[in-house]
Amino acid sequence: MPTPVSLTERTTKPFSCSLLTAIRVPLLSKGDVIGTFHLISRHPNAYGEREREILEQVAAQIAAAMENSRLFIQVKEHEAELERAYKELKEAQDYMVRSERLRALGEMAGGVAHDFNNILAIILGRAQLALEDQEGDKVMKSVRVIEQTALDAAKTVRRLQDFAGVRASSAFEAVNLNQLIEGALEMVESRRVKLEETEGVRIEIGTELNEVAPVAGDAAELREALVNIIFNAMDAMPEGGRITVKSEQENGLVVLSVSDTGVGIPEEIKGKLFDPFFTTRAPAGNGLGLSVTYGIVKRHGGSIEVESTQGKGATFYIRLPVADGVEARSRPERKPPTIKRATILLADDDPEVSEILGLMLQQLGHRVTVVTSGEEALSAFEKGDYGLVITDLGMPDISGRDVARAVKEMKPEMPVMLITGWGVQFDPEEMPDIDGVIEKPFSRDALLAQIAELLPTRKRGKRG
């Protein structure tokens, strides 16, 4: 029978014209042979029982060491798997936290925007009423500043609503990017000067503008995206430096690039630059600038990428498709439409908003009944004879949608206009009871234009 593997083997064989002695001991781990340990001598019968016992003890130690090494490698591999799993879990958790924060911010932004729009409606309405009544140049100038400030604030609120996802995108127009760049540089100039005068940080901004085709987009949004990138470049140059803004065209794309000579971007954070709330400037930064920029560029069918070497600055590239069949929006002077004077039922739970809107309507020649709840509106409509119903969307007892539905059930031909501070967050086709929508804060001209669409035009008669 063959010698069992668990036993030590001793052999005597010729080697290089002389005899030698060999002893082989198995390396055992949990009953399995994982190797063998050999000793060879040039002398015959060099190993006896004593040497065999010593060798078996050494072999046992070697086998134990090998088994421990194998277990150690397994533990390290398992540890590496756990680290990878922990990293993936941490990234997933961070993503969920950012998503939740973004959702919460979106909800908060929507509510704040609604309340702020109500306030702006009062400011803008009062300013425009004052413009109609005042004649003094000094007062007129001050009121016009108030009016323009309210309109600018309304645009800011609409961008907040865009971020919150409660307002539909506006129609695109043909945008001249070179003009847009010049406008953006005017907007960042005050910050550049402040850095130089208060912190001694000198930043030079230059341009390399080539002739490019117009792109289809919203000029205000694209300008905001560019301003965010320039501000980001300024933050990357704590010791000062130079920013270069370029425009060029390649194939069917217009390329806008912003280069800086700042500290550069580490490779490990490049993939996080456009994540909401990611910032390297905590607590000074909120981590939303580049995220908002990314969203704007994507809404315009474009792409944004960054190239950077740490210590050698960074370049952001925005690529936008050339405008196809989109014309620049013209704003010709229009004569105010002549509309039929009507008796209007106005419902808004904010007494100051309803007051200013009522004054505007009266100034336009209409008779107005003002109520502050949906229930009052329906009661007044049943008793009165009206040519138009204007209702706020959000009221505590009965919503504007339900008011519109009830009015149409009583008198299907009655035009109903909805006013809202929530932004255009629904498809009018899904609300057949609504004939027109106007967003707060509304200007006098916008209100006039919307009413003109809903009421019959008054015919001008000949005087005899």
Long-range contacts of 445-448 (CB under 8 A, 24+ apart): 445/336, 447/357, 447/360, 447/361, 447/364, 448/336, 448/337, 448/339, 448/364
Q: Which two tokens stand for residue 438?
A: 């106007």
Domains annotated on the chain, with CATH? 9-82 (3.30.450.40), 96-164 (1.10.287.130), 173-321 (3.30.565.10), 343-454 (3.40.50.2300)
Cα–Cα distances in angstroms (integers) from residue 461 to residues 335, 365, 458, 464, in the given order = 18, 18, 9, 9
Among all chains, which residue has been given the structure tokens 């969307």?
393
Question: Are residues 312 and 260 in contact, defined by beta-carbon separation less than 8 angstroms?
Answer: no
How many CB atoms within 10 Å of residue 305? 12
DSSP state of 286: -
List the chain pLDDT tens, one digit each, 464 residues: 333 333 445 554 444 445 578 888 888 888 888 888 878 888 777 888 888 888 888 888 888 888 888 889 989 888 888 888 888 888 777 767 666 666 666 666 665 666 666 666 767 776 776 666 666 565 666 666 666 666 666 666 666 666 555 454 556 889 999 999 998 898 888 889 888 988 899 999 999 999 999 999 988 889 888 988 999 899 889 999 999 999 999 888 999 999 999 998 888 777 777 766 566 554 444 456 787 788 888 888 999 999 988 888 999 999 999 987 655 554 444 455 556 788 999 998 888 888 888 888 888 889 999 998 999 999 999 999 999 999 988 787 888 889 999 999 999 999 999 888 765 554 556 677 888 888 777 777 788 888 888 886 544 333 33
Phi and psi, residue 300, nearest 5°: -95, 10
Q: Give 374-389 as a DSSP string.
A: HHHHHHHHHHS--SEE
438: CB partners within 8 A, 6+ apart: 417, 418, 419, 420, 446, 447, 450
Q: H or E element: which one contains 273?
A: none
User: How far is Cα 258 from Cα 253, in angstroms, rounded to an integer?
Assistant: 16
User: How far is Cα 56 from Cα 67, in angstroms, rounded to an integer?
Assistant: 16
User: How far is Cα 3 from Cα 25, in angstroms, rounded to an integer?
Assistant: 12
203-209/32-41 β-pairing: unpaired
How many CB atoms within 10 Å of residue 364? 18
Question: Are residues 292 and 357 in contact, defined by beta-carbon separation less than 8 angstroms?
Answer: no
Beta bridge mates, 12: 21
